Structure 1
């Protein structure tokens, strides 16, 4: 009997061509992730990882590090994955309940080394394979898996990314399925770590696990190919209270990125806050509201979002990213939420703290959520003149239903460069947009630019 992993591997193998829409959205995701990696390179989480593995990094390696230098492939995936997720500005992928690209892009980059030509087209194909695999694994366990408290980035993300890495390394169907099986033995990550440095580390560990699982599978290490569905397997142990399993999983003619897409983050904080932020900013704009008008701001969100946002009075910038009260107060007072709002000094601003005390959050009940894949997040604003305003959002800005414009994507990338102390206006973004033209990514991204004018990834020390 064909196992779930074999079905997924066969589906990936059968997809030889991708539509223009799929390629375009994959390029968007890769470029966005590079920006997030650069912005996060100096974050304490990344500094901690590079310090912990300083001796390995000092020895050099063939894989590029966003924090500078080179390292062995596993260490590079760990560092770059942590950097990609450090500021919680990287994309979300709803089918996997994961920060898909923060795992996939660093894992794939770790295999791009000198002497092993990898074209931009092959890289994008492997990215799309890994994304498809993440969606397929998530199909059987989410949202129950995520609601139970598992961080899908670290679990589903790692298993799916292992398939993408296997694809880029030239693995066949059997080896790809085995890579996912081995990654299932490595997958872990409790959402109870949200608001700590361990949270971005989850993405780095998942990227590392994906690389190692793929390499082990290609080297001949074997696990059970029914590990997702068998007793004491992934579904049994990680599925949560009400998983649907993979009985109804069917191959689709179009790629998941066309049907569902990714959410490119507009705000550098937990995605569980984004729909409420967007709704509140719309109310402020439409009614010309000021802080003096506000008696209270009440929000209603999904159960998982409510559990994610555990810090009503955040003590530091990490906790602030997981505080509905802080994020909404900041957005209302400033008209936006930016990277600069998540520093130790910014979190202590008196005006933000005062408004945050007027903000509450509740969740839908389990009965309300049952049978609904997605419910809108609702914002209710009560004004000093007695007026009550309501606004709800089913999808956040940056989703395929309400996408960022090309200009907004470019501006976000430039903001990430500035936050990472890189020269704005360099041609890195333009080069990333031309990934399909690259015959050898190592040459294109790491070795080709010997002039200073573009300040691209000229070598390990350039970024």
Structure 2
């Protein structure tokens, strides 16, 4: 067999019984977390624009849009993935040379599963497959240093998961993965320099293409059978690696991490340290003379002003949530970093823009050596009178060494969805998710269709 055929055999054989109880619980927590951050983005300007486009385009009503309406599976995959990605509040997986967000695949899984009237067990299995494929390819074949985006490995995962959710046989799974993986090699410029809306839409595009590739494969369309090992294949891009799919399991979800703060993943421990300093010492932000952060090289490179561009020019939401100086400044000023901090007027406010200029960030090799098993960050805040406070954090609640439990996930879900739902609907969605293997996917999507697309509309009508 070719390598894509071996991958497809692994995907075809996967069942929910392959997950340990811990992995299954963590997978359900990630379903709830993904839905929460998706609902929380329903009134974001790009999301409203995309919904309007989909309404104009129409399409056979096979798969549900969160917030109501139906369209074709690949368009629903794009929209729902855009929702879960837009706030940049989703989960992540840390590999030494790559970081990805496996929950980005949920839009493809949900739309694909609903299109064939699948059960919740099939949806969960496909979602677990997405975590395993996306994470393991990132472990062995990172491409960021080569100038390519992490959505590149994601294309293989999205197609594998969509095909699994549709119940396709191994031959068609292989063709879906081959087509999506060949056609979606993405440039890292997506996340460097001045950031555009595409930062949050690059993976939704992959979800769409993975779903579309599965649909094509279901009709007998074939893809390059040596997409990995062939002449000019993926291994010619990423370098040689060994990955035996016959020895893989579905446990990688337990190594993924959930965000505590609405910020790029590598900032989480630094923000935790800064906010703990603020609370413990009653720091008055107006009296801060300087903020010094020493951290691991990946955080510095991506969001600290390193190889992926200056992070002192912040004008938009996309730039703000990828600027460590801005995020540290607003967190110390407001005592939190959640969706309200990304209001356009808050992003460019004088106090935030001024304080972020006082932030210096330095990479440290000893800290870098501890990544990705830890996310070490040392924050020192110095006041105008010379007083300094220092704190180091290497993990946080939601990191894989301190996994979020269902109650914690529910608190985050409620906080994000309350403006768009009433308590009964929140209970309904969460109840279905926690017992998803005993429900049809259509039950979950029916509940998601009842979510309001207008903030506080539910409260206003009660």
TM-score range, shorter chain: 0.7 to 0.9
Cα displacement string for residues 365-393 of structure 1 (whole angstroms, at most 9, x for unaligned residues) = 7x985896566233233344545544333
Cα displacement string for residues 176-228 of structure 1 (whole angstroms, at most 9, x for unaligned residues) = 22221111122233332333211111121011011012222232222233322
In 2: Cα distance, 1:368 partner to 1:20 partner: 33
1:38-117 correspondence to structure 2 within 5 Å: 38-57=39-58, 59=59, 61-95=61-95, 97-102=99-104, 104-113=105-114, 116-117=116-117
Cα displacement string for residues 137-189 of structure 1 (whole angstroms, at most 9, x for unaligned residues) = 223212xx12334331x221221121111112122223222221111122233
In 2: Cα distance, 1:249 partner to 1:441 partner: 28
- Provide the secondary structure at the position in 2 that maps to 1:89: coil
Aligned pair in 2 of structure 1 residues 99, 230: CA closer, same or farther (>3 Å)? same
TM-score by length of 1: 0.85
Q: Which residue of 2 aligns with 1:12?
A: 11
Q: Which residue of 2 aligns with 1:452?
A: none
In 1: Cα distance, 2:145 partner to 2:162 partner: 28
Aligned pair in 2 of structure 1 residues 79, 312: CA closer, same or farther (>3 Å)? same
Cα displacement string for residues 264-314 of structure 1 (whole angstroms, at most 9, x for unaligned residues) = 111122113222101212333344433255321122344443343243231
Per mean C-alpha deviation after superposition, the further-off stretch among 88-97 and 32-41 is 88-97
Displacement of 1:412 in angstroms is 1.3
Q: Which residue of 1 aligns with 2:448?
A: 457
Cα displacement string for residues 344-373 of structure 1 (whole angstroms, at most 9, x for unaligned residues) = 1111333322322211223357x9858965
Contact 1:329 1:356 in 2 (8 A): yes
Aligned pair in 2 of structure 1 residues 339, 431: CA closer, same or farther (>3 Å)? same
Contact 1:45 1:201 in 2 (8 A): no
Q: Which residue of 2 aligns with 1:29?
A: 30
Structure with more of its chain in helix, by fraction: 2
Aligned pair in 2 of structure 1 residues 232, 373: CA closer, same or farther (>3 Å)? farther
Contact 1:9 1:174 in 2 (8 A): yes
Q: Which residue of 2 aligns with 1:148?
A: 146
Unaligned runs of 5+ residues in structure 2 are: 304-309, 455-462
Cα displacement string for residues 409-455 of structure 1 (whole angstroms, at most 9, x for unaligned residues) = 21211122135x333453222222221221x221x2244xxxxxxxx
In 2: Cα distance, 1:401 partner to 1:409 partner: 16
Q: Which residue of 1 aligns with 2:163?
A: 166
Q: Which residue of 1 aligns with 2:359?
A: 359
Displacement of 1:459 in angstroms is 5.8
Per mean C-alpha deviation after superposition, the further-off stretch among 168-177 and 314-323 is 168-177
Aligned pair in 2 of structure 1 residues 149, 299: CA closer, same or farther (>3 Å)? farther
Displacement of 1:87 in angstroms is 0.8
Displacement of 1:28 in angstroms is 0.7
Contact 2:270 2:393 in 1 (8 A): yes
Instruction: Give the alignment's Cα RMSD to 1 decimal.
Output: 2.8
In 2: Cα distance, 1:320 partner to 1:128 partner: 31
Q: Which residue of 1 aligns with 2:436?
A: 435
In 2: Cα distance, 1:462 partner to 1:389 partner: 44
Contact 2:154 2:206 in 1 (8 A): yes
Residue correspondences, number: 438
Match for residue 255 of structure 1 among 235, 251, 256: 251
In 1: Cα distance, 2:396 partner to 2:348 partner: 27
Aligned pair in 2 of structure 1 residues 253, 208: CA closer, same or farther (>3 Å)? closer
Unaligned runs of 5+ residues in structure 1 are: 448-455
Aligned pair in 2 of structure 1 residues 248, 124: CA closer, same or farther (>3 Å)? closer
Q: Which residue of 2 aligns with 1:191?
A: 188
1:4-403 correspondence to structure 2 within 5 Å: 4-16=3-15, 17=17, 18-57=19-58, 59=59, 61-95=61-95, 97-102=99-104, 104-113=105-114, 116-142=116-142, 145-152=143-150, 154-194=151-191, 195-237=195-237, 239=238, 245-246=241-242, 251-252=247-248, 255-258=251-254, 260=255, 262-292=256-286, 294-309=288-303, 310-364=310-364, 373=372, 376-403=376-403
TM-score by length of 2: 0.85
Displacement of 1:400 in angstroms is 1.6
